[in-house]
Structure 1
Amino acid sequence: MPSLITTVPASPITTTPSSPTAPGTRGITKLTNCRLVRGNDLVWQDLWISSNTGKIVRSQAAFYDEHVLPDETVDLGGRIVAPGMIECQLNGAFGFNFSTLFGDEGTKGARYQREMHSLNKKLVETGVTAYVPTVTSQTSELYHKVLPYLAPTRGAARDGAESLGAHVEGPFLSPTKNGVHNPEVFKQAVTFKDVQDMYGEDNLGSEDGTAAPVVRMITAAPEIGHMTDVVFPELVRRGVVCAIGHSEATYEQAAAAISHGATMITHLFNAMRPLHHRNPGIFGVLGETPLVRVDEGAPASPGSSTALFAPTKRPYYGVISDGIHLHPTTVKIAYNAYPAGFILVTDAMHMVGCPDGPYDWTNGDRHMKLVKTGKVLLLENSETIAGSTITLIECVENFMNWTGATIPQALRTVTSTPAAMLGLDGQKGTLEPGADADLIVLSAEEVLDTPQSPMAATATSAAGAVGVVNTRLHIDEVWKFGERVFQRN
């Protein structure tokens, strides 16, 4: 067990209602004696939020211009207030797997919704206020049946985490980079209709924008079929985020995919061609913006007159910092490559919050078992990593302790950066007025950790110490749309 070194001072949280005669009747709460995450800084400042509108309030305008008083004032005792965390790759948690169907046709939909609602209420206690539920490579039948339940729940989820729409990870993946996915259900998309047939036409929205997509993000191998030149541009027109993953793509193929609309890389380094000094593969597109041949997707000299050229934009990229998928130094290298695009994800399975042991898993058209041992999750009778069992706040802690990042820098990787990737700037992942009042209240402490894994032992040995002083973050409160939904005992 880690031993306590120092504790960041934090007084008890106290709530004071306004006077009965005060004109505060708008469900407004003032959070005071707290440090707000503002860019790279922690700023001592009050924050006003409204449960009626579900938004962060411009406090000076409310107080001075409209003469509004808060209905209650909450003294946070010096704690940190940050936007609620956004999870972009969650396969399930607390015993519920999104790639699951229950019972017969008449009852399974209701049970699916109950299980998901239960997950949402538990997930918010970990600091995640919004997420993109992920469905792995499955049969078309399963996609058609479960995706409608994963549609965005904008404004409806007030007692738990909010779905931002589904992330379909597969089945348009490379069979040589399948990871734990069952390659027997993998497909190639030659036309956009192939994608519509797989997921359901109604789940992909409309080209004119009149119907929002249920599918918020798709992970695909750009070199398979006509994903790059046909599918990605059409998905982008419909408001779907295109991500590269489970792929043998070369640097040139990855750059071509970016130039055709891909803006995200799924779990960088895992299930993809490794970095090579002569061809950096997918990792290479995090470097300086290259010029890419639009017609063939091959780099060439800008002076050539035989092809058109377009600059590509460096993509966002997900990183799993559980200490199992990537070495801590690899995480640091990834962050330094392009900090503005770095997004922490868990890739967690439904064993999060569950005891060790074997668990059933629907893998395409097969029923298999995954074995949880501590934080390690493997496909039964193999050494194949099968996602993680870590929480997002633990990923944030690991990232801070491995890289030396500050608390604001670390929290940005799970708030404003994923919000920007999903096109939710100004709505999620920020404490600016007008944004959704999704908040987490944090306290921090320093602990002495002793080596508990080969990776931790390597880091400790390199430091020449018997242990390392790490930062631990505690989620003391969570607020959703201006209402407190969790308070730590």
Structure 2
Amino acid sequence: MPSALPTSTAKVTKFTNCRLLKGESLVTQDLWVSSFTGKIIQSQEAFYGQLCVPDEVIDLGGRIISPGFIDTQLNGAFGFDFASIPESDDPNAYAKEFKRINQLLVKTGVTSHLPTITSSRPEVYHHALPFLGPSGASRLASDGTESLGAHVEGPFLAPTKNGIHPLPVLLAPKSNDLTSLSDCYGPSNLLGNIRLITAAPELPHMTFLIPTLTSPPHNIIFSIGHTESTYEDATAAITAGATMITHLFNAMRPLHHRNPGIFGLLCTTPTTNSSPSTTPPSSPLVTQNIIPSLPKPITQRPYFGIIADSIHLHPTTITLAYNAHPSGLILVTDAMHLVGLPNGRYAWNNDFILKDGIHLRLESDGKIAGSSITLVECVSNFLNWTGCSVAQALKAVTETPARMLGLEHVKGGLEGGMDADLCVLDVMVEEGRKRVVVDEVWKFGVRVFEREGEERGTIMS
């Protein structure tokens, strides 16, 4: 992988001759950023209001500036599994490994992520989660990719939809309070370090717990995943406060013409009233139990993660989901720690994972074992498979995940006052296929990576 450049020392940088991602469009416009504040500067305010003169002007030659990518499901990378405890006497070994990964990950265009811990024993959560909480307070570009808080994928999952999550560690809540979750994750981790939890809402007590988890002081996003949920179960979870679906279609009941399952949530018309609806008119089909009775209406359609690696889902399936609910689609990698490592056989959870390019499978039973793909590769696949525009594809790794996380005024956009996390992108066409390429990455207004080997934009002092 190319090396990073020394970080720029310019306080104010002006990008010109560039196209900015604005919603679902690419707009020709200059962009100003400050490495002192780490924020995007409103260009008219900078020039006219503050009489600001940039320290550096960069002509990007018509290339694209996108907000930095956000990966909401990343299990590890470059040899480090977030669900592992390093075998070391150094108490800071985990923190050092996490920093190393973030400094490498940022080169792929991912400037923020939710480091994800798959189903593990409680001691793993107790050890790892304190290192994975939100890290943006330091605002150090040299730290690389920023953690927005941890994603705990399990262990409160349906045993029949475990994927490669080890069955012996899976749990179910034992009461209508957070005791089981607190014992598993650690009480302090439920108050800030965990940003998102994936769980099966049909487990005993789980749907009852959703309002508590998603409200202060926890404010945790609840995502439906690894689940046997019916459409009715999933609708009840959304009504209770769930707002996300983890890797849609994978590890859940499939779409059926008489029971749409979780996919049906994407096609539900939202309502502004969450109270029970009136009983629908009866019909012969309902009385024959062919079509279930209608559940309570939901107030909004959920966001949903999609793994666009050509292995987890067929391209047409992805297009189907996107067309059903385009504003809810979030591209994720679900990448394992084998990203960036050579092909081979790697020990994992008393088994082995066989890596062959982006293909990862358990040696014991051949199950798909996560992915080994970068987020920019997912963007390229999505762009080609769905026929959407470049701007629409980029939205699925910027604005949409930021909105899902409640950070749409801080991340995922290029408006004045937002964090200056940027990707400078080129789009190449190779044998009729579009490929998005990360040329530069900027974190908090500081350039932390530039691709080597080809001529780039002209820097004008």
Q: Same fold (TM over 0.5)?
A: yes
1:32-54 alpha-carbon deviations (Å, 9 max, x no partner): 11111111211111000000000
- Residues 475 and 240 from structure 1, CA distance in 2 versus in 1: closer, same or farther, beyond 3 angstroms? same
Q: Which amino acid aligns with 1:219?
A: T
Q: 1:132 aligns with which of 114, 134, 158?
A: 114
1:302-335 alpha-carbon deviations (Å, 9 max, x no partner): 699xx99553310000000000000000010010
1:58-93 alpha-carbon deviations (Å, 9 max, x no partner): 111111111111111111111100000000000001
Q: 1:235 aligns with which of 213, 226, 229?
A: 213
Q: 1:46 aligns with which of 30, 38, 46?
A: 30
TM-score, L = length of structure 2: 0.89
Secondary structure (helix, strand or coil) at the match of 2:92 reads helix
The answer as to 2:127 corresponding to 1:148 is no
Q: In the aligned structure 2, how far is the partner of 1:169 from the partner of 1:99?
A: 10
Q: Which residue of 2 aligns with 1:445?
A: 428
- Residues 299 and 275 from structure 1, CA distance in 2 versus in 1: closer, same or farther, beyond 3 angstroms? farther
Q: Which residue of 2 aligns with 1:214?
A: 193
Q: Which residue of 1 aligns with 2:447?
A: 484
Q: Which residue of 2 aligns with 1:327?
A: 314
Q: In the aligned structure 1, how far is the partner of 2:270 from the partner of 2:418?
A: 35
Q: Which residue of 2 aligns with 1:433?
A: 416
Q: Which residue of 2 aligns with 1:78?
A: 62
Q: In the aligned structure 2, how far is the partner of 1:225 from the partner of 1:273?
A: 18
CA offset at residue 27 of structure 1?
Answer: 1.1
- Decide whether the 8 Å contact of 2:353 with 2:369 is kept in 1: yes
- Residues 389 and 397 from structure 1, CA distance in 2 versus in 1: closer, same or farther, beyond 3 angstroms? same
Task: Point out which structure has higher relative CO (alpha carbons under 8 A, 6+ apart).
Answer: 2
Q: Which residue of 2 aligns with 1:381?
A: 364
Q: Which residue of 1 aligns with 2:286?
A: none
- Residues 335 and 64 from structure 1, CA distance in 2 versus in 1: closer, same or farther, beyond 3 angstroms? same
- Decide whether the 8 Å contact of 1:89 with 1:348 is kept in 2: yes
Where in structure 2 are there 5+ consecutive unaligned residues? Answer: 1-7, 283-293, 453-461
- Decide whether the 8 Å contact of 1:130 with 1:162 is kept in 2: yes
1:437-483 alpha-carbon deviations (Å, 9 max, x no partner): 000001111111xxxxxxxxxxxxxxxxxxxx110111110000000
Q: Which residue of 2 aligns with 1:58?
A: 42
CA offset at residue 273 of structure 1?
Answer: 0.5
- Decide whether the 8 Å contact of 2:379 with 2:393 is kept in 1: yes
Q: In the aligned structure 2, how far is the partner of 1:308 from the partner of 1:286?
A: 15
1:131-170 alpha-carbon deviations (Å, 9 max, x no partner): 0000000001111111101011014241210011100000
- Residues 162 and 336 from structure 1, CA distance in 2 versus in 1: closer, same or farther, beyond 3 angstroms? same
CA offset at residue 374 of structure 1?
Answer: 1.4
TM-score, L = length of structure 1: 0.84
- Residues 291 and 438 from structure 1, CA distance in 2 versus in 1: closer, same or farther, beyond 3 angstroms? closer
Q: 1:395 aligns with which of 372, 378, 391?
A: 378
Q: 2:163 aligns with which of 179, 183, 187?
A: 179
- Residues 368 and 200 from structure 1, CA distance in 2 versus in 1: closer, same or farther, beyond 3 angstroms? same
CA offset at residue 371 of structure 1?
Answer: 1.1
Q: 1:87 aligns with which of 41, 59, 71?
A: 71
Secondary structure (helix, strand or coil) at the match of 1:311 reads coil
Deviates more, 1:191-200 or 1:164-173: 191-200
Q: Which residue of 2 aligns with 1:370?
A: 353
Q: Superposed, which structure 2 residues align to 1:5-16 within 5 Å?
A: none
CA offset at residue 26 of structure 1?
Answer: 8.3
Q: Which residue of 2 aligns with 1:199?
A: 185
- Residues 41 and 290 from structure 1, CA distance in 2 versus in 1: closer, same or farther, beyond 3 angstroms? closer
Q: Which amino acid aligns with 1:240?
A: I
- Decide whether the 8 Å contact of 2:235 with 2:296 is kept in 1: no
Q: In the aligned structure 1, how far is the partner of 2:277 from the partner of 2:318?
A: 28
Q: Which amino acid aligns with 1:200?
A: G
Secondary structure (helix, strand or coil) at the match of 2:123 reads helix
Q: Which residue of 2 aligns with 1:340?
A: 327
CA offset at residue 361 of structure 1?
Answer: 2.1
Q: 2:336 aligns with which of 349, 365, 369?
A: 349
Q: In the aligned structure 2, how far is the partner of 1:85 from the partner of 1:136?
A: 22
- Decide whether the 8 Å contact of 1:302 with 1:309 is kept in 2: no
CA offset at residue 300 of structure 1?
Answer: 6.3
Q: 2:203 aligns with which of 197, 219, 224?
A: 224
Where in structure 1 are there 5+ consecutive unaligned residues? Answer: 1-16, 18-24, 206-212, 449-468
CA offset at residue 118 of structure 1?
Answer: 1.1
Q: Which residue of 1 aligns with 2:347?
A: 360
Q: Which amino acid aligns with 2:234?
A: A
- Residues 291 and 75 from structure 1, CA distance in 2 versus in 1: closer, same or farther, beyond 3 angstroms? closer
Secondary structure (helix, strand or coil) at the match of 2:394 reads helix
CA offset at residue 354 of structure 1?
Answer: 0.5
**Cα RMSD, aligned residues only:** 2.1
Q: In the aligned structure 1, how far is the partner of 2:10 from the partner of 2:435?
A: 36
Q: In the aligned structure 2, how far is the partner of 1:308 from the partner of 1:137?
A: 31
CA offset at residue 382 of structure 1?
Answer: 2.0
Secondary structure (helix, strand or coil) at the match of 1:355 reads coil
Q: In the aligned structure 1, how far is the partner of 2:15 from the partner of 2:117?
A: 37
Q: In the aligned structure 1, how far is the partner of 2:172 from the partner of 2:212?
A: 16
Q: 1:474 aligns with which of 430, 437, 441?
A: 437
Amino-acid identity (%): 55
CA offset at residue 385 of structure 1?
Answer: 0.2
Q: Which residue of 2 aligns with 1:318?
A: 305
Q: In the aligned structure 2, how far is the partner of 1:393 from the partner of 1:141?
A: 34
Q: How many residues align?
A: 428
Q: In the aligned structure 2, how far is the partner of 1:73 from the partner of 1:112?
A: 39
- Decide whether the 8 Å contact of 2:236 with 2:296 is kept in 1: no
